[in-house]
Amino acid sequence: MSDKQRKKSEVPPDPDARVFVISVAAELAGMHAQTLRNYDRLGLVTPHRASGGGRRYSPRDVALLREVQRLSQDEGVNLAGIKRIIELTNQVEALQHRVDELAAEIAQIHASYRRDLVPVPRSSALVVWKPRGER
């Protein structure tokens, strides 16, 4: 195997690629296909629909199915509670993404103003600044 082929095979798959049919997703999640259909009906995990109407699951969907199973079986959370947990988790992720965007924007603004700022020692004096062209 060449280095180029090895690097291609080491690239992790896209977690949002809709690659698994329902039977494969069910096997990967350790569930019955009918359970996946039920979760889809309840809005817990919403797979992509292929042109023929068949469900297509992503690796992220499979991970979510496993989490639903863990919450249900290990933690004793009912399906309504799991749905709420998923909604709140999605909301937190969206808000965190927005916070990251705003932090990057603030850093960019701060970097652009830094060159214009002049440190002034603390005192009770009033300092008046005028642009160079107005002096």
C-alpha gyration radius of the chain: 26
Has residue 95 been placed in a domain?
A: no
Give the tens place of pLDDT for each residue, 58-79.
999 999 999 999 999 999 999 9
The pLDDT, as a whole number, for residue 27 is 96
Has residue 70 been placed in a domain?
A: yes
Collapsing DSSP to helix, strand or coil, 55 comes out as strand
Give the tens place of pLDDT for each residue, 85-101.
999 999 999 999 999 99
Has residue 121 been placed in a domain?
A: no
Has residue 78 been placed in a domain?
A: yes
pTM > 0.85: yes or no:
no
The domain total for the chain is 1
Burial of 68 (0-12, 13-18, 19+ CB in 10 A): buried
The CATH number assigned to the domain holding 60 equals 1.10.1660.10
Q: Which stretches of the chain score pLDDT less than 50?
A: none
